[in-house]
Amino acid sequence: MQEFVNLGRGEALKRDAFVRICDFKEIYELLDKDVAKEQSSRCIGCANPFCHSKCPLGNFIPFWLRSNASENLEQAFKISNETNPFPEITGRVCPQDRLCEGACTLNDGYGAVMIGPIETFITEEGLKRGYKLICDTPKMDKKVAIIGSGPAGISAATYLLRAGVDVSMYEADDLPGGLLRYGIPGFKLDKSIVDRRFEILKEAGLKIFTNCEVGKDIEFDDVANSHDALFVAIGARKAKKANILNEEALGCFEALDFLTAIQKGVDIGLKDKKILVIGGGDTAMDCVRSAVRCGAKEVLCAYRRDKSSMGGSKKEFINADEEGVKFIFNASPKEVRVNDNGEVVGVIAQKTSLNAKKLDIIKNSEFNIACDIVVFALGFSVLAPKFLVENGVELSESGQIVVDRQFQSKSCGIYAGGDCVSGADLVVSAANDGKMAAKAIISSFL
């Protein structure tokens, strides 16, 4: 360990931009075994590891780095998967520069340990070698229903199954995975990775009911009465509005609808069109990079603040820039322009300035951005189904499910976690909610 003196920070290899924009395959290559070992050995083994503290899941990062550096892959695999329900997914999609790697002590002059790619390597290599994730556990004779199959739902199912609890999962869409399947493009997370996780869970006993919306295709009471507890993990799918003229015009899309259609292979007419994505987070980067791959003639991204204020991962901005996306900073949309047929022809924007972090609109600064398609990537809020309120579940003023520290709602036996509780957040944060809620549910059974 502590080889940072002799070894610089490496970088995961990625496919050339001119090649990768032609498909939706993952752009990053898995680390070579020797590279993963060498880069793991750069960890200095801090007595108070900031990487661990900054990780929402509380992953024991220095421990599995040390194990991998010592060529004890099986131990690294067990440690990594102990606290994380899907390390090979978080290793791919987490904004490590804002979390574990951003907090790494070596950032001060040496370059952070490349935690994300090593995390992905450990589980990928472990699964390749046949290491088991969920061992046979004595049954508790308890049943839990999970509504929603996104990150929080997968996480809760993982820890409940590990404890011997029977789990049934209800998903309204045609395939399970939620955000991981339809909200995150394949160039960041290949869907075979999601499928494999569900196969592992099904082998452990998970029952999945797809095309089954609770409250519509099956009554909530039927689910509640046949289980000892429920975990609600419906995410946050309601798009936030720009509240500008013509934002519902023909050619305007909400980000999640846009991404879902593309992931499902639906042709929404992007080829040879000029696409404008409004927003500056990771979802906006997913939209612009998807548009490039769908054959758009030109892809623009307008953000109301400056480059340094963008809320997403730095690597996603870099990747988008490499792939030909053009950025317009300090631009706030005022109106969508339409032709006589009600079709988008552009967006009128206003220039902005930052004054002590306060955003100001510059008077008489309107300018036109010509485009054929507008995608709004302005964030998401929760749209809670009626059956929750009808069964005593409290909602906040913004529509999020209110829970206590044990992730239990005011209705006994109904738990919730992920974006439907916290609002739109990171995959890793939703995973931690699912883990902690599962532990609370298990404790209630003892």
CATH code assigned at 345: 3.50.50.60
390 lies in a domain?
Answer: yes
Judge whether 51 and 100 are in contact, CB under 8 Å.
Answer: yes
Q: How high is the pLDDT of residue 362?
A: 96
195 lies in a domain?
Answer: yes
Q: Are 99 and 171 part of one and the same domain?
A: no
Q: Are 88 and 211 part of one and the same domain?
A: no
Q: Are 218 and 162 part of one and the same domain?
A: yes
Strand 229-232 versus strand 414-416 pairing type: parallel
- Token pair in block for residue 52: 């661990």
Q: Are 361 and 410 part of one and the same domain?
A: no
- Domain total for the chain? 3
Q: Are 340 and 390 part of one and the same domain?
A: no
Q: Give the whole-angstrom CA distance, residue 63 versus residue 61.
A: 5
Domain extent, residue 324, equals: 241-376
327 lies in a domain?
Answer: yes
pTM, two decimals, is 0.94
Q: Are 179 and 255 part of one and the same domain?
A: no
Q: Are 399 and 355 part of one and the same domain?
A: no
11 lies in a domain?
Answer: no
Domain boundary among 358, 376, 394: 376
Q: Are 289 and 304 part of one and the same domain?
A: yes
Q: Are 69 and 196 part of one and the same domain?
A: no
Q: How high is the pLDDT of residue 355?
A: 84
Instruction: Report the 3 state secondary structure along the chain.
Output: CCHHHCCCCCCCCECCHHHHCCCCCCCECCCCHHHHHHHHCCCCCCCCCHHHHHCCCCCCHHHHHHHHHCCCHHHHHHHHHHHCCCHHHHHHHCCHHHCHHHHCHHHCCCCCCCHHHHHHHHHHHHHHCCCCCCCCCCCCCCEEEEECCCHHHHHHHHHHHHCCCEEEEECCCCCCCCHHHHHCCCCCCCHHHHHHHHHHHHHCCCEEECCCCECCCECHHHHHHCCCEEEECCCCCEECCCCCECCCCECEEEHHHHHHHHHCCCCCCCCCCEEEEECCCHHHHHHHHHHHHCCCCEEEEECCCCHHHCCCCHHHHHHHHHCCCEEECCEEEEEEEECCCCEEEEEEEEEEEEECCEEEECCCCCEEEECCEEEECCCEECCCCHHHHHCCCCECCCCCECCCCCCECCCCCEEECCHHHHCCCCHHHHHHHHHHHHHHHHHHHC
Question: How do residues 55-100 score in pLDDT, each as one tens digit?
Answer: 999 999 999 999 999 999 999 999 999 999 999 999 999 999 999 9
Domain boundary among 333, 352, 376: 376
217 lies in a domain?
Answer: yes
Q: Give the whole-angstrom CA distance, residue 309 versus residue 293.
A: 26
Q: How high is the pLDDT of residue 133?
A: 85
List the beta bridge partners of residue 375: 253, 277
Q: How high is the pLDDT of residue 358?
A: 87
3 lies in a domain?
Answer: no
Q: Are 220 and 256 part of one and the same domain?
A: no
Q: Are 340 and 407 part of one and the same domain?
A: no
Q: How high is the pLDDT of residue 422?
A: 95
174 lies in a domain?
Answer: yes
136 lies in a domain?
Answer: no
Judge whether 186 and 265 are in contact, CB under 8 Å.
Answer: no
Domain boundary among 355, 376, 397: 376
Q: How high is the pLDDT of residue 1?
A: 65
Q: Are 220 and 171 part of one and the same domain?
A: yes
Report residues of the chain scoring pLDDT below 70.
1
Question: Which CATH number is 90's domain given?
Answer: 1.10.1060.10
Q: How high is the pLDDT of residue 41?
A: 96
